[in-house]
């Protein structure tokens, strides 16, 4: 509705509207083009981003070269420790069994050297049974003590360094035995002696040996015999144990059949190649 008597020019208004729209068309076209471009690019960006998660990261590979037949340090350490546990356990088990000492001529405990003359004299006097009882009792005591050895050897094996392991593997044929002598003798003595003392008392060895010493000391003009036998038996028991360990060590070094696991074959085969 118009007032004030002004005339309504419809064609002029239409012309003005057309001009206005024409001015806006470039802007509208630009906006539409941007929207289309955004709609087209956005999915591509999403697909590209998602696909990047599916592709593994490019990591530079690290190549570790191990020559065939040459064990790693880890293999050498584990293999030697395995061999030592097996060898010391077998030796301890054999000697702690009934007749482990008494039935093995190599480690059988006899009268002490200083008392062997006394033994001979006593046997000449018809006291054979007394002498036999002494010897049997000494060996039974050693067999009892050998049961205490296994944990001591296991502890010594656990304390070994990589350098100890290498020195033993590539060392002399009794390198492990010598290592155990250095590291376990004091502990073995401390463990063995009270067990041997109790065992000597239990089987009557202390009494038998004391009786033998008493009888011998009655003989005129002879050097008196020491009636204490526990120290001697302890030392002989430890010597016997190391003797058996040395045999086991030599066996695994020289006898391929004694290498009871693939790891032992690998480690000691390597040691063999180093000594050729």
- At 197-212, the pLDDT tens digits run 998 887 677 777 777 7
Q: What separation in angstroms does the CA of 113 have from each of 116, 193, 232, 234, 249?
A: 5, 20, 10, 15, 29
Q: What is d(CA 129, CA 120) in angstroms, rounded to the nearest whole number?
A: 12
Helix (H) or strand (E) holding 265: helix 262-274
pLDDT score of 235 more than 90 = yes
DSSP 8-state symbol, 115: G
- Whether 119 has a pLDDT exceeding 90, the answer reads no
Render pLDDT for 141-153 as a digit per residue (tens, 0 to 9): 999 999 999 999 9
Domain limits, the chain: 7-55, 73-274
Nearest CA to 107 out of 88, 120, 94 is that of 94
pLDDT band at 254 (very low <50, low <70, confident <90, very high): very high
pLDDT at 42 exceeding the cut of 60? no
* pLDDT confidence tier of residue 227, bands split at 50, 70 and 90: low
Handedness of CA 105, 108, 112, 118 (dihedral sign): negative
Q: Could you tell me how far CA 221 lies from the centroid of its own chain?
A: 58
Measured between alpha carbons, how far is 80 from 70 in angstroms, rounded to an integer?
14
Assigned token pair, 93:
């088990």
pLDDT at 167: 96
Listed in sequence order, the DSSP H helices in 3-161 are 10-54, 73-96, 116-124, 128-146, 149-158
**CA gap 3, 103 in Å, rounded:** 142
Q: Which DSSP helix (H) or strand (E) runs through 206? A: helix 205-217
Q: Name the more confident of 226 and 60.
A: 226
Average pLDDT value for the chain: 80
Q: When comparing pLDDT for 89 and 11, which is higher?
A: 89
Q: Given this model, what pLDDT does residue 64 score?
A: 38
Residue range 49-85, pLDDT digits in tens: 444 444 444 445 444 344 556 899 999 999 999 999 9
Q: Residue 169 in contact with residue 76, Cβ under 8 Å?
A: yes
For the cut 50, the answer to whether the pLDDT of residue 264 exceeds it is yes
């Amino acid at each position: 509705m118009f007032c004030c008597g002004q005339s309504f020019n419809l064609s002029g208004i239409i012309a003005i509207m057309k001009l206005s729209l024409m001015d806006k068309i470039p802007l509208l076209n630009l906006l539409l083009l941007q929207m289309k471009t955004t709609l087209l690019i956005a999915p591509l960006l999403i697909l590209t981003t998602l696909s990047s998660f599916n592709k593994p990261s490019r990591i530079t590979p690290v190549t570790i070269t191990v020559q065939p037949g040459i064990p790693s340090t880890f293999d050498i350490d584990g293999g030697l420790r395995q061999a030592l546990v097996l060898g010391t356990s077998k030796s301890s088990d054999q000697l702690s069994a009934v007749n482990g000492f008494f039935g093995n001529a190599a480690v059988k405990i006899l009268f002490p050297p200083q008392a062997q003359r006394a033994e001979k004299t006593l046997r000449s006097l018809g006291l054979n049974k007394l002498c036999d009882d002494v010897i049997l009792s000494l060996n039974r005591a050693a067999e009892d003590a050998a049961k205490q050895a296994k944990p001591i050897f296991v502890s010594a094996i656990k304390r070994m360094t990589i350098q100890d392991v290498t020195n033993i593997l590539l060392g002399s044929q009794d390198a492990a035995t010598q290592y155990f002598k250095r590291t376990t003798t004091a502990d073995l003595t401390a463990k063995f002696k009270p067990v041997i003392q109790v065992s000597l008392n239990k089987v009557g060895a202390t009494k038998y040996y004391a009786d033998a010493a008493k009888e011998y000391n009655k003989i005129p003009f002879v050097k008196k015999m020491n009636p204490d036998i526990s120290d001697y038996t302890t030392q002989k028991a430890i010597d016997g144990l190391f003797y058996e360990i040395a045999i086991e060590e030599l066996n695994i070094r020289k006898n391929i059949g004694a290498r009871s696991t693939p790891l032992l074959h690998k480690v000691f085969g390597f040691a063999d190649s180093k000594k050729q």
